[in-house]
Amino acid sequence: MKKWTHECIQESGVTSEVLQQLRSEKKVDDPKLKEYTFCTFKKNGFMTEDGELQYDIIKSTLKKVSGSEEEANKVINDCVVKKSTPQETAYETVDCWYRYKRNL
């Protein structure tokens, strides 16, 4: 995972400050951050190269993280929604996931 993070930082050019803003609950409109999230989604198998969401893989991962199929389904329904670009889809999914985690 660290290798992918480093690779995606290098590929996208996103700064650590922007990544920290996302993690600290701030909505960040940065094209490099969107490229970063798309990159991590591809490397995790959550999306294909052409931006198609891989719902089964996402659900399996969410289920492992949350420990609950019900929670995984809720996140899938609320957060994993195809947007106008793969980058936007990946970013909005991550942003929604962070908001969801805050409300647990």
For the stretch 40-87, pLDDT in tens is 999 999 999 999 999 999 999 989 988 889 988 998 999 999 999 999
Give the pLDDT score at 43.
95
**Max CA separation in the chain (angstroms):** 36
pLDDT tens per residue across span 14-38: 999 999 888 776 788 899 999 999 9
The 10 Å Cβ neighbour count of residue 78 is 13
Q: How would residue 1 be classed by pLDDT, with cut points 50, 70 and 90?
A: low
Residue 101 or residue 96, greater confidence:
96
Give the pLDDT score at 98.
81
pTM summary value: 0.88
Report how far residue 1's alpha carbon sits from residue 59's, in angstroms, rounded to the nearest whole number. Answer: 18
Give the pLDDT score at 30.
94
Q: What is the 3-state secondary structure (H, E, C) of 10-73?
A: HHHCCCHHHHHHHHCCCCCCCHHHHHHHHHHHHHHCCECCCCCECHHHHHHHHHHHHCCHHHHH
Report how far residue 54's alpha carbon sits from residue 36's, in angstroms, rounded to the nearest whole number. Answer: 18
Q: How would residue 103 be classed by pLDDT, with cut points 50, 70 and 90?
A: low
